[in-house]
């Protein structure tokens, strides 16, 4: 009897199960031509079926927390901005991750991509908490900025990879694990030259030992090393051991007296080489030692530190009066380098340096119009060295020479004191007679530019810069474009330099301003009245400011400065934090971000004049784009009256996604023409107004590229229903991308490739690399 009762209960429960499951599902539907989804009340989204998911289908959903993609789905797309998404489980059938698929999914911490073959542009852009991505051994391609601004700690790049395009920019301290040396991935990483990266490569059985060579009194020696015979990489580089000359003796003396140890070979070579080339003098060496962490970790008292410098620099013990004087300086808060700089001018130190055959130097004083400025008040010793490296590589790659000590010192001082920006030295060198005598072609020019400004050969950027030069771009335009890349801006911040900006052309005042231009300028002035003064403009004030802008007497930054320093604004007694917020809205067209606002507020509260803050914002891409919209020059505020001219702040924080995209936006009229071509030829109909507006907005706002828009149309169900053959597809591509009918040769070649299995996406990618397409694209820019 009990057995029958139990069986009956099981049957009842099974009948109720579908109702329980249905009650748990809050949404279901179709998310692809043959793909379907179910979302339960706990945020679990399950996708089944075959093929691909529609682009942006689940974009910015807050109710999706966990995604499970079932077997049969091959292309995943559409989860951009799903801010609550924490877990994604992909089946083995998934082979492609689409553009922007999971961008800005900030709660996603790990992703298993072990079956994926292609990861498209910006797939995981700004997933700031993504630390782990398991990549497939069959992975073929990772496209532009796929993992930009994530926090990946390491990636393994297999031998199967055939294409990489800056996929990991913005991931600091990244470790690359390379399967085999001499593979595409290995060569790419070496050429890419990413900052703060570690490369771990499998060299297998190709490693040999390079024997050590002992130094003599006249000849240098070498430490033992190792290198790979297959790729030539120095696995353990051989370090040169200097000959035992007087300069070596001086550096050895510094190690023994200041650090209380014998010198290591690397350190000895570094300091002795600096003395031999003249890039360092005796005071540089001593300041370098006392600013090192190793010295600081000795935790010497002020008394002991002063005594140590007497022995190192004056070769004697201290006298009572002198020691008391220097201790008084230190007790008053001055750094230990003050003692070094003081001793540099003494006859005792100069005599000691003469015995060692070295230049005594004069500390870190800047030779500028402000003789009281000390470099170490502006940059750290580490930044001083990095600025020096930047200057040296500009000389080496642009002028093909090593600078003499005076040239080196001059540029270091100008950059450290922020009298010049990083691009100024580059542009000055390219204008010089020395450079012109080198007679470099366009490719050699951009190669020199890349190695000078980035410190490496930018493999993925060189071809496009060459094409821009061939299309008529000037040296100024190329340098300014490179100066906006995130890696360069970040490097300048790290080095303690301003990026700088070269005025592309002098401010030109047209003979007559058109009504349309004047209306735009009036719009900018009205914007300043509303945002800064909180009111509509009065007619007299509006006319005066518009007149100053149209005559070229004032630029945009000067107008903002005029409003902020006006009596009307001062009488409002606006708080400093509100002033910063006003600047963000007036100059960048947006509210502040927390980090940026905190940095600028700190500078304003510490006494920086508002003009200096405005100049910091002037260098941002966002401000220049706003000025382009209104048809006015960005300009800057004159700094003669600034109390802290030598301490002007670094540029305003810039969104990395803007810095790595095109420098200029697509013209709205051209964007409309392109989108209408997509509707006409890809979908076979006229554009609806809503769709047209949406696509144009994404193009002109920089959210989508022309290539991505075209792919979006081709990926639609409406296009799939047209069921066109390969020849017709190629004809459409010519009409959409190149704005012409296909020639017989091109039509035949591309059709054959598609018949042989080349995908539509690959054909689009190859077409957009052509010179013809690039020329069309350049004409579409504002």
pTM summary value: 0.33
pLDDT level of residue 396 (50, 70, 90 thresholds): confident
Cα torsion angle, 417, 423, 429, 432, sign: negative
3-state SS string over 672-684?
HHHHHHHHHHHHC
Whether 74 shows a pLDDT value over 90: the answer reads yes
Residue 34 per-residue DSSP state: S
Q: Give the pLDDT confidence of 150-203 residue by residue, as tens digits.
A: 989 888 888 899 888 888 887 777 888 887 777 888 777 766 444 345 667 666
Taking the C-alpha atoms of residue 564 and residue 555, their distance in angstroms, rounded to an integer, is 15
Mean predicted confidence (pLDDT) in 640-654:
35
Whether 2 shows a pLDDT value over 50: the answer reads no
Q: What percent of the chain has pLDDT over 70?
A: 82
CA atoms within 13 A of residue 747's CA, in its CB half-sphere: 13
| Residue extent(s) of CATH 1.10.3130.20 domains in the chain | 246-363, 381-495, 515-659, 668-780
Looking at 368-432, list the stretches that DSSP marks H as alpha helix, in order from N- to C-terminal side.
Answer: 375-378, 381-394, 405-416, 422-431
- Of 63-67, 425-429, 635-639, give the lowest mean pLDDT range: 635-639
Mean predicted confidence (pLDDT) in 516-532:
88
Whether 364 shows a pLDDT value over 50: the answer reads no
Q: Which residues of 59-77 are buried (b: 16+ CB within 10 A; e: fewer)?
A: eebeebbbbbbbeebbbbb
For 9, the enclosing helix (H) or strand (E) is helix 2-24
For 177, the enclosing helix (H) or strand (E) is strand 174-178
Taking the C-alpha atoms of residue 414 and residue 64, their distance in angstroms, rounded to an integer, is 53
Decide which of 723 and 139 is more confident: 139
The single residue listed with the structure tokens 């003050």 is 338
Dig out the tokens for 9 from the structure: 């209960």
Q: Which residues of 733-771 are buried (b: 16+ CB within 10 A; e: fewer)?
A: bbbbbbeeebeeebbeebbebbeeeeebbebbbebbeee
Per the prediction, the chain carries an average pLDDT of 79
SS3 228: strand
CA atoms within 13 A of residue 146's CA, in its CB half-sphere: 18
For 388, the enclosing helix (H) or strand (E) is helix 381-394
Whether 40 shows a pLDDT value over 90: the answer reads yes
SS3 319: coil
Mean predicted confidence (pLDDT) in 24-47:
93
What are the C-alpha distances in Å from 362 to residues 302, 406, 442, 694? 22, 13, 42, 63
Whether 42 shows a pLDDT value over 90: the answer reads yes
Decide which of 68 and 203 is more confident: 68
Whether 557 shows a pLDDT value over 80: the answer reads yes
Taking the C-alpha atoms of residue 119 and residue 761, their distance in angstroms, rounded to an integer, is 12
Contact yes or no for 582/604 (Cβ under 8 A)? no
| Residue 567, burial from CB neighbour count under 10 angstroms (0-12, 13-18, 19+) | exposed
pLDDT level of residue 240 (50, 70, 90 thresholds): low
pLDDT of residue 50: 94
CATH of the domain spanning 668-780: 1.10.3130.20
Dig out the tokens for 43 from the structure: 């945020």
Taking the C-alpha atoms of residue 146 and residue 118, their distance in angstroms, rounded to an integer, is 10
Q: Which class is 246-363 in CATH? A: mainly alpha
Q: Which range is most confident: 74-83, 198-207, 644-653, 715-724? A: 74-83
Whether 439 shows a pLDDT value over 70: the answer reads yes
Decide which of 385 and 663 is more confident: 385
Per DSSP, the chain holds a count of helices (H) and strands (E) of 36, 21
Contact yes or no for 268/251 (Cβ under 8 A)? yes
Residue 488 CB contacts under 8 Å (≥ 6 apart), including other chains:
422, 453, 454, 482, 499
CATH of the domain spanning 381-495: 1.10.3130.20
pLDDT of residue 514: 74
Taking the C-alpha atoms of residue 423 and residue 491, their distance in angstroms, rounded to an integer, is 12
The single residue listed with the structure tokens 């139990």 is 6
Beta-ladder partners of 111: 133
SS3 685: coil
Cα 680 to the center of its chain, rounded Å:
38
Dig out the tokens for 580 from the structure: 């910063």
For 526-643, strand residue ranges (E) read none
Mean predicted confidence (pLDDT) in 281-291:
89
Q: How many CB atoms lie within 10 A of CB 298?
A: 13
pLDDT of residue 119: 96
- Give the CATH number of domain 515-659; options: 3.30.530.20, 3.40.50.2000, 1.10.3130.20, 1.10.3720.10: 1.10.3130.20
**Of the candidates 27, 77, 87, the residue with the CA atom closest to the CA atom of residue 57:** 77
Whether 359 shows a pLDDT value over 60: the answer reads yes
What are the C-alpha distances in Å from 106 to residues 41, 86, 96, 488, 591? 21, 8, 21, 26, 21
Taking the C-alpha atoms of residue 774 and residue 468, their distance in angstroms, rounded to an integer, is 9
């Amino acid at each position: 009897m009990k057995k029958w009762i139990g069986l009956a209960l099981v049957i009842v429960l099974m009948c109720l199960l579908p109702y329980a499951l249905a009650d748990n599902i809050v949404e279901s539907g179709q998310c692809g031509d043959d793909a379907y989804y179910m979302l339960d009340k706990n945020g679990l989204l399950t996708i089944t079926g075959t093929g691909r998911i529609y682009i942006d289908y689940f974009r910015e959903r807050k109710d999706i927390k966990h995604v499970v993609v079932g077997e049969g789905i091959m292309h995943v797309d559409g989860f951009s901005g799903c801010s609550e998404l924490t877990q994604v489980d992909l089946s083995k059938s998934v082979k492609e991750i689409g553009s922007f698929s999971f961008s800005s999914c900030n709660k996603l911490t790990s992703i298993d991509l072990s079956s994926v073959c292609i990861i498209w542009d910006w797939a995981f852009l700004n997933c700031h908490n993504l630390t782990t991505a398991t990549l497939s051994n069959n992975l073929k391609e990772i496209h532009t900025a796929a993992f930009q601004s994530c926090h990946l700690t390491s990636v393994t790049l297999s031998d199967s990879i055939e294409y990489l395009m800056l996929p990991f920019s913005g991931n600091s301290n990244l470790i690359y694990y390379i399967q085999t040396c001499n593979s595409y991935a290995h060569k790419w990483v070496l050429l890419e030259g990413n900052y703060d990266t570690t490369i771990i490569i499998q060299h297998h059985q190709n490693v040999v030992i390079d024997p050590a060579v002992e130094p003599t009194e006249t000849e240098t020696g070498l430490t033992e090393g190792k290198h790979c015979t297959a790729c030539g990489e120095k696995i353990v580089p051989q370090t040169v051991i200097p000959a035992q000359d007087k300069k070596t003796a001086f550096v050895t003396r510094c190690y023994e007296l200041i650090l209380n140890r014998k010198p290591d070979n690397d350190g000895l070579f570094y300091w002795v080489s600096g003395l031999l080339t003249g890039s360092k003098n005796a005071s540089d060496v001593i300041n370098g030692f006392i600013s090192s962490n190793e010295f600081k970790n000795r935790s010497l008292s002020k008394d002991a530190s002063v005594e140590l410098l007497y022995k190192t620099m004056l070769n004697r013990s201290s006298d009572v009066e002198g020691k008391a004087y220097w201790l008084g300086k230190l007790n008053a808060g001055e750094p230990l380098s003050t003692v070094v700089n003081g001793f540099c001018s003494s006859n005792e130190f100069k005599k000691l340096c003469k015995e060692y055959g070295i230049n005594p130097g004069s500390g870190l004083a800047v030779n500028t119009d402000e003789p009281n400025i000390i470099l170490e008040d502006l940059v750290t010793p580490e930044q001083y060295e990095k600025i020096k490296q930047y200057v040296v590589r500009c000389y080496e790659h642009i002028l093909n020479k090593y600078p003499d000590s005076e040239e080196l010192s001059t540029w270091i001082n100008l950059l450290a004191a922020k009298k010049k920006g990083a691009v100024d030295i580059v542009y000055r060198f390219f204008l010089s007679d020395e450079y012109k005598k080198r007679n470099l072609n366009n490719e050699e020019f951009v190669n020199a530019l890349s190695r000078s400004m980035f410190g490496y050969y930018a493999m993925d950027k060189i071809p496009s810069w060459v094409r821009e030069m061939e299309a008529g771009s000037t040296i100024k335009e190329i340098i300014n474009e490179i100066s906006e890349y995130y890696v360069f801006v970040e490097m300048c911040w790290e080095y303690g330099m301003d990026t700088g900006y070269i005025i592309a052309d002098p401010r030109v005042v047209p003979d007559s301003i058109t009504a349309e231009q004047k209306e735009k300028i009036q719009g900018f002035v009205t914007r300043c009245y509303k945002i800064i003064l909180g009111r509509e403009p009065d007619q007299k004030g509006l006319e005066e400011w518009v007149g100053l802008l149209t005559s070229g007497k004032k630029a945009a930054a000067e107008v903002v400065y005029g409003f902020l320093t006006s009596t009307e604004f001062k009488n409002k007694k606006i708080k400093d934090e509100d002033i910063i917020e006003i600047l963000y809205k007036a100059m960048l067209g947006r509210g502040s971000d927390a980090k940026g606002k905190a940095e600028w507020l700190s500078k304003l509260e510490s006494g920086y004049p508002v003009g200096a803050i405005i100049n910091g914002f002037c260098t941002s891409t966002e401000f220049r784009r706003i000025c382009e919209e209104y048809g006015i020059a960005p300009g800057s505020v004159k700094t003669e009256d600034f109390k802290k001219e030598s301490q002007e702040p670094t540029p305003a924080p810039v969104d990395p996604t803007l810095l790595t995209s095109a420098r200029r936006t697509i013209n709205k009229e051209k964007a409309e023409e392109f989108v209408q071509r997509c509707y006409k030829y890809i979908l076979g109909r006229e554009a609806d107004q809503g769709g047209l507006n949406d696509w144009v907005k994404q193009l002109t706002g920089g959210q989508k590229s022309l290539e991505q828009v075209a792919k979006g149309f081709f990926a639609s169900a409406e296009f799939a229903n047209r069921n066109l053959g390969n020849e017709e597809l190629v004809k459409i591509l010519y009409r959409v991308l190149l704005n012409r009918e296909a020639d017989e040769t091109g039509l035949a070649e591309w059709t054959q490739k598609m018949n042989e299995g080349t995908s539509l996406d690959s054909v689009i990618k190859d077409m957009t690399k052509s010179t013809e397409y690039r020329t069309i694209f350049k004409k579409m820019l504002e």
